[in-house]
Amino acid sequence: MPHAVARLREARLARSAKPFIARGSRTPRCVRCRITTSHCLCGWLPRVPANSAVCLIMHDIEPLKPSNTGWLIADVVTDTYAFTWQRTGVDPALLNLLADPRYQPFVVFPGEYAEPARVVSGVEAVVGKRPLFVLLDATWTEARKMFRKSPYLNHLPVLSLHAEVLSRYRLRRSSRSEHLCTAEVAALCLGLAGDDQAAGALDTWLDAFTDHYLAAKHHRAPDPEDATHRALAAYGRR
């Protein structure tokens, strides 16, 4: 069964008045991993458990972009939910998820943009509840707007990450190297919650995705015996 981001992509395509044409879209791509079919990554998809869940609130065209990394989160974390951000409304299913008694939601965003009383730096344990990490999947400019204009998030704690790492993501350019891509942020959250195996698998899956994506672009073959592929193989495959 397609995961949440794949389903969101199909729904977005179904309501499009005209086709979304991404760069490199003339190249045949695997519908599962979105990489050129000659460099398909599906056979390396890791199988790992995770107690945490992830809620992706995605800007309109994010699910359509071949380079989107929210898709990679849904590949690895079984309980991943995905919704399209709406400027003037909210999907009732998203509200139901945020109110689900199984979960303790955390909006993952820099604390400087929230009231100090809402900001937390760790995942406080709540008896009987699993952490639900709410990620705004968009460009940095779009994400700030989404954070400001989503009042249904205002009652939730804001998890402010202080990672002393630079982004390894090479498929989109950012003016600031400390801006992590969505999958990198999710991996940090999983680590904070004690889902170390899932965190490592997601980081490695991102590296492999990037490697295959760029290898296809530059007409070279990925090395199945390199450290990234050996690490993926150690997690087991789906």
**pLDDT tens-place string over residues 108-143:** 999 999 999 999 988 876 778 999 999 999 999 999
Report pLDDT for 175.
44
Instruction: Name the stretches of the chain with pLDDT < 70.
Output: 17-26, 125, 163-178
pLDDT of residue 169: 53
Question: Residues of 208-223 as b/e, b for ≥16 C-beta within 10 angstroms?
Answer: bbbbbbebbeeeeebe
Buried b (16+ CB within 10 A) or exposed e, 80-107: bbbbbbeeeebeeebeebbeeeebbbbb
CA atoms within 13 A on the CB side of 25: 8
Q: Is 74 left (phi over 0), alpha (psi -120 to 50) or beta?
A: alpha
